[in-house]
Amino acid sequence: MIEDEKLHEEAEELREETAEDSPELQEHDRIGELEAALEEANSKALYAAAETQNVRRRLEAEKQQAATYAATGFARDMLAIKDHLDRALAAVSDELRADKTASQFLAGIEATSRELDAVFQRNGITRIESKGEALDPHKHQAMMEVPSADAEPGTIVDEMQAGYMMKDRLLRPALVAVAKTPE
C-alpha cells in the first residue's frame, strides 16, 4: 500500500514537471479544474433549489393550517354562549313552556340555539360524543368516578360540560363522570 502511494506521488511530481513545459497539459489541467468547479456549482445550485422548494412547501402548509384554524379562539369563545343557551333551555319548566308569552320567548331562544348549531356545523365544529363511550383522554377530561353496577369501569356515565372538536383539533374536552366498580 505504501509503495502504491509512493508511486502515485512520483507520477504526480513527474506530471507536474512535464506540465510546466507543456501548455497542452496545463490547459488540460485547467479544464479539469473548471469542470470540477462547474460540477460543484451545479450541485450547490440543485441543493439551493431543493431547499427553496422545501421552504415553499413548508410555508404553504403553515399558511393552510393558519387559514383552517384561524377562528379557533373565536370558536372557543362561542362555546360559552352555546353552554349558556343550553343551560337556560334546560332550566325552563313545563309550566313556563305552557305559558303563551314565555313559549314565544323560548321559541326565539331555541331558534338562536339551532342557528348557532348550524354555524358550528358549517365551520367544522362538532360536539364530542361522550355518554356511554369509553374514556378517551384526547377528548374527555374525567372530573370524577361514580360507582356503577350498570356500566363497565372506564365508561362515561355522565357529562357535565360538552366537548367540541374543530375539524381534527380539540377545541375543548368534554368534562365527564366515569364509571368505576362499586365497592
Q: CA 77 from chain center: how many Å?
A: 20
- The three three-digit cell numbers of residue 123, written as one number: 365551520
Summarised one tens digit per residue, pLDDT across range 133-151 is 999 999 999 999 999 888 8
Domain that holds residue 50: 2-66
Summarised one tens digit per residue, pLDDT across range 47-100 is 999 999 999 999 999 988 887 777 888 889 999 999 999 998 999 988 988 888
* Residue at which a domain ends, from 45, 66, 87: 66
Query: Does 169 share its domain with 103?
Result: yes
Sheet with 156-161, side-by-side order of all strands: 140-147, 174-180, 156-161
pLDDT of residue 11: 77
Give CA–CA dist 18/27, Å, rounded.
13
Alpha-helical regions (H) of the chain: 2-21, 23-68, 72-90, 94-98, 100-122
Query: Does 88 share its domain with 166?
Result: yes
Residue 8 has pLDDT above 90, yes or no: no
Q: Which of 166, 175, 167 is nearest to 76 (CA)?
A: 166
The one-letter amino acid code at 42 reads N
Summarised one tens digit per residue, pLDDT across range 155-175 is 999 999 999 999 889 999 999
pLDDT of residue 43: 93
* Residue at which a domain ends, from 19, 38, 66: 66
Is 130 strand, coil or helix? coil
* Residue at which a domain ends, from 23, 43, 66: 66
Query: Does 127 share its domain with 173?
Result: yes
Residue 20 has pLDDT above 70, yes or no: no
pLDDT of residue 158: 94
pLDDT of residue 73: 84
Q: What is the CATH classification number for the domain harbouring 166? A: 2.30.22.10
- Residue 44 to residues 32, 41, 49, 50: CA-CA distances in angstroms? 18, 5, 9, 10
Tally of domains within the chain = 2
